[in-house]
Amino acid sequence: MPMRIQFSRHGGPEVLDYLDYQPSAPGPHEVRVQNQAIGLNFIDTYFRSGLYAPPSLPSGLGTEGAGIVEAVGSAVNGFQVGDRVAYATGPLGAYSELHVLPAEKLVKLPDAISFEQAAALMLKGLTVQYLLRQTFALQGGETILFHAAAGGVGSLACQWAKALGVKLIGTVSSAEKAARAKEQGAWATIDYSHENVAQRVLELTDGKKCPVVYDGVGKDTWETSLDCVAPRGLLVSFGNASGAVSGVNLGILAQKGSLFVTRPTLAGYADTPSRLQSMADELFAMISSGQLQVDISNRYALKDAALAQTALSARQTTGSTILLP
């Protein structure tokens, strides 16, 4: 009998159960995937804790994985049994040996990309793709600011920016994280624990500030980020690690230089199967060329998902963590 992780109540990692689970046959537009590797992401802990509400309880967990197509629905075109595939945007239930999901959520995985690489990179890598290549299409030569540059998304952004010929200034919270960001390709770092971010950006840009600032932190960095955007520049607020930005006075955008602000999501960019596959193809090409390196520093058996989440929440992990069925 296949196994999966599920939870019947909200709480800490202790609410995660490892149980027998027989998924349904795929519906007409669905595919059943035999997972070979599963991504672990901080958002998973939000569903488990109840910060985000799953559709119903008991619920599976996880939205990212890679594996082999095991069954296809009657109306599915483009995928067949035996195909190597990957996915990043749900539905919940990726923490499982078998996972049924809409075919439109899947991408074809080239032979050059391993299941482990895909599971570790799909969500974070596609996020960096839309941020750097679509939300603000970097051309090379820009100097940009990226918050939390040593994190999972930030580390990939450092590498991708360097490959594009972009000078990325990364904010970090310690000397160790500064060193990590520099190793990943950051042009400069600012340790916000003891440096004034806006002042350092002015110094690093000869007073010009940045045409685009990428802020996945949210509430705590909102005003600082605005102070780092050049006139008529763009603030990309793509996450809320410190809480959501609220109560925004649009007049502040005028005061600080006719600024633009956007709040994008991956789902908003990967909103058709063709766009999703196109984004994934560019991500896979960056990996195949060696311009993006995936750092899988933690591997846990699927049954040990609670241990993996405990380590993640305690900030004991670096790089990516994956679960192996």
Each residue of 161-192: pLDDT tens digit? 999 999 999 999 999 999 999 999 999 999 99
Distance CA 117, CA 292 (A): 11
Whole-Å CA distances, 271 to 72, 89, 134, 164: 21, 11, 13, 25
Residue 322: pLDDT band with limits 50, 70, 90? very high
How many other β-carbons are positioned within 10 Å of the β-carbon of residue 223? 12
**pLDDT at residue number 239:** 86
CATH number at residue 96: 3.90.180.10
Q: Is residue 214 part of a domain?
A: yes
Q: Is residue 135 part of a domain?
A: no
**Are residue 112 and residue 146 in the same domain, yes or no?**
no
Whole-Å CA distances, 94 to 89, 122, 124, 176: 10, 13, 16, 33
CATH number at residue 235: 3.40.50.720
**Are residue 249 and residue 293 in the same domain, yes or no?**
no
Q: What are 289's two structure tokens?
A: 């060329």
| Residue in 197, 196, 194, 209 with CA at minimum distance from that of residue 170 | 197
**Are residue 66 and residue 95 in the same domain, yes or no?**
yes
Detail the DSSP E strand segments found in the chain: 3-7, 17-20, 30-39, 59-60, 65-72, 84-87, 98-102, 106-108, 143-146, 167-172, 188-191, 210-215, 229-237, 260-262, 296-301, 320-324
**Are residue 49 and residue 69 in the same domain, yes or no?**
yes
CA dihedral 132, 138, 144, 145 (to 10 degrees): -10
Q: Is residue 33 part of a domain?
A: yes
pLDDT tens track for 94-108: 999 999 999 999 999
Left (φ > 0), alpha (ψ -120 to 50) or beta: where does 141 sit?
A: left
For residues 308-317, give the mean pLDDT: 83
Whole-Å CA distances, 125 to 8, 30, 244, 320: 31, 24, 23, 11
pTM, rounded to two decimals: 0.93
Please identify, among 218, 234, 263, the residue that sits at the C-terminal boundary of a domain.
263
Structural domain of 92: 3-121+271-324
**pLDDT at residue number 79:** 97
| Residue in 312, 237, 286 with CA at minimum distance from that of residue 110 | 286
Q: Is residue 134 part of a domain?
A: no
pLDDT tens track for 52-110: 889 999 999 999 999 999 999 999 999 999 999 999 987 999 999 999 999 999 999 99
Distance CA 204, CA 8 (A): 51
**Are residue 109 and residue 24 in the same domain, yes or no?**
yes
Place of tokens 């998304």: 153
Q: How many domains does the chain have?
A: 2
Residue 284 and residue 113 in contact, taking contact as beta carbons nearer than 8 Å? yes
**Are residue 228 and residue 150 in the same domain, yes or no?**
yes
**Are residue 19 and residue 95 in the same domain, yes or no?**
yes
**Are residue 158 and residue 235 in the same domain, yes or no?**
yes
